[in-house]
Amino acid sequence: MAKQINGINPDILKWARERSGYTIEGIAAFLKKDPSVVNDWESGECAPTYIQLEKLADKYKRPIALFFFPKPPDEPNIAENLALRSSDNTPLEPRIHILLRKAYARQLSLMELNMGKNPAEMKIFRDLQARPNDSVIMLAQQARAYLNVDVTTQTSWSTPGTALEKWRDCIEEAGIFVFKDAFQDDSVDGFCLTHDEFPIIYLNNSRPPIRQIFSLLHELGHLLLGENDITRGISRKGGKVEMFCNQFAAEFLVPSDDLETHLNFSIYNDNAVEELAKYYKVSRVVILLKLVNKGIFTKEHHWQKIDKWTNEYAHHLKKETDGKTSSGGSYYNTLMTYLGHRFMELAFGKYREGHCSIEQLAEHLNVKVKHLPQLEDCLLKRVLR
């Protein structure tokens, strides 16, 4: 029989579980143990074996050494402090807790790599500070002018995927780094974390590009308001701030004055919505929202269509997932998509300048040292294409 380990701090066992968003019952099921066993570990009545501790460390994404510390590390509880919509009290999934910690680590990396100073010449989060009572139209106009992208340029982009890359570049050039990841949680579209120097946005890369575009601008709205946010899909119960950020994103992407010049349809049906969505490189949901504001559609019609399209997308996604036979794609290309070329260029640049070791570089990029040459090669190909 395997021996229990001496010296484990039961308070940290509990702290690590709670910070990862797991219940005692969930961890017990994972370990195929009775919940009372996990409870006894966390109360100090007994302790796990080394193999069990390894499994816990992997599940919580924590180093094993942490469980022997005299007290938990001084780490902010991002999930608890995150400004969730007051109408949605659903607990966050463990995967999102991990991504929030990863996002905080990205902010620390940005601080270290840049010596605490944001390198962007222009910082939109400082120059355009908003309040929920401000005019959405005015703020959207100011933000678009700040990013220097007119509607003609926007509509010239060939695909929604290209549009997403362009908007991401514009926002990063304005001082806000944008990261992506596979959230493994279809209920969350993205989130943002404020910071005096390095506010960041995280997008769910599993979402279609047009959905990510809206999430990107929605989170930008929250950062201009100076607050953290997590966006959990489309909801009928969004509070005042959520509605403000939805309206901001919609107005930014589809300016009312420009839309007015294209409202020349004899019948406003699905085809009309689809045509406008393709023109502006946005989702049909954005167009619906704008047409509701114009009085062309009712809110009831708006939600009926959203429910219909959501069900259709879920069905399509299930068929697509069921049809996949392998993971496909390049690990390095995927990682570059998640990190963004600006962050990677920054990290590799600091390493080449001698400001960080190769081990520190790997830590900033969250990869093993052996993967760095291939990752840099992937970055160079992107720059040279």
How confident is the model at residue 234, as a pLDDT? 62
Q: Is residue 70 part of a domain?
A: no
64 vs 58: CA distance, rounded Å: 9
Q: Taking 60 as the threshold, does the pLDDT of residue 20 lie above it?
A: yes
Q: Is residue 54 part of a domain?
A: yes
Strand order in the sheet with 177-181: 177-181, 200-204, 190-193, 229-231
Any bridge partners for residue 230, and if so which?
191
Check whether residue 52 and residue 105 sit in a common domain.
Answer: no
Q: Is residue 77 part of a domain?
A: no
Q: Is residue 378 part of a domain?
A: yes
Task: State the CB neighbour count (10 A cutoff) for residue 359.
Answer: 9
Q: DSSP code of 91?
A: P
Task: State the CB neighbour count (10 A cutoff) for residue 3.
Answer: 8
State pLDDT tens for residues 221-234: 999 999 999 988 76
238 vs 189: CA distance, rounded Å: 14
The pLDDT mean for the chain works out to: 89
Q: DSSP code of 82?
A: S
Rounded to the nearest 10°, the torsion over CA 335, 172, 344, 191 is -40
**Buried (b) or exposed (e) across 62-99, using 16+ Cβ within 10 A?**
beeebbeeeeeeeeeebbeebebbeebeeebbbbbbbb
Least confident range from 192-206, 244-258, 288-302: namely 288-302
Spatial contact of 309 and 285, defined as CB atoms under 8 Å apart:
yes
Q: DSSP code of 183?
A: -
Q: Is residue 56 part of a domain?
A: yes
Question: In which band, very low, low, confident or very high, does the pLDDT at 187 lie, cut at 50, 70 and 90?
Answer: confident
14 vs 320: CA distance, rounded Å: 39
How confident is the model at residue 36, as a pLDDT? 96
Structural domains in the chain (count): 3
State pLDDT tens for residues 51-72: 999 999 999 999 999 999 999 9
Q: Is residue 295 part of a domain?
A: no
Task: State the CB neighbour count (10 A cutoff) for residue 45.
Answer: 11
Check whether residue 127 and residue 236 sit in a common domain.
Answer: yes
Check whether residue 12 and residue 116 sit in a common domain.
Answer: no
157 compared with 83, residue with greater pLDDT: 157
Check whether residue 111 and residue 209 sit in a common domain.
Answer: yes
78 compared with 272, residue with greater pLDDT: 272
Check whether residue 190 and residue 230 sit in a common domain.
Answer: yes
State pLDDT tens for residues 96-145: 999 999 999 999 999 999 999 999 999 999 999 999 999 999 999 999 99
How confident is the model at residue 112, as a pLDDT? 96
User: What is the phi/psi pair of residue 177, to 5°?
Assistant: -75, 140
Helices marked H in the chain: 10-19, 24-31, 35-43, 50-60, 78-81, 94-113, 124-127, 136-147, 151-156, 160-173, 209-225, 240-253, 256-260, 270-280, 284-293, 299-322, 331-339, 341-352, 358-365, 372-384
Q: Is residue 310 part of a domain?
A: no
Spatial contact of 380 and 341, defined as CB atoms under 8 Å apart:
no
Instruction: Write down which residue in 42, 62, 82 finishes a domain.
Output: 62
CATH of the domain at 8: 1.10.260.40
Check whether residue 112 and residue 37 sit in a common domain.
Answer: no
Question: In which band, very low, low, confident or very high, does the pLDDT at 282 lie, cut at 50, 70 and 90?
Answer: very high
The model's pTM = 0.90
**Domain range for 141:** 94-253
Amino acid letter, residue 103: A
Q: What's the N-to-C CA distance of the chain in angstroms?
A: 59
190 vs 241: CA distance, rounded Å: 16
State pLDDT tens for residues 297-332: 888 877 788 777 766 655 555 555 455 544 445 889
Check whether residue 213 and residue 120 sit in a common domain.
Answer: yes
Q: Is residue 81 part of a domain?
A: no
Check whether residue 9 and residue 102 sit in a common domain.
Answer: no
Check whether residue 146 and residue 222 sit in a common domain.
Answer: yes
Spatial contact of 224 and 125, defined as CB atoms under 8 Å apart:
yes
Strands 190-193 and 177-181 turn out to be unpaired
Q: By C-alpha distance, which of 270, 121, 118 is closest to 199?
A: 118
Give the mean model confidence (pLDDT) for residues 238-250: 89
Check whether residue 222 and residue 129 sit in a common domain.
Answer: yes
Check whether residue 130 and residue 181 sit in a common domain.
Answer: yes
Instruction: Write down which residue in 230, 253, 276 finishes a domain.
Output: 253
State pLDDT tens for residues 325-337: 444 458 899 999 9
How confident is the model at residue 310, as a pLDDT? 67
Question: In which band, very low, low, confident or very high, does the pLDDT at 85 lie, cut at 50, 70 and 90?
Answer: very low
Instruction: Write down which residue in 253, 272, 299 finishes a domain.
Output: 253
Check whether residue 105 and residue 244 sit in a common domain.
Answer: yes
Q: Taking 80 as the threshold, does the pLDDT of residue 369 lie above it?
A: yes
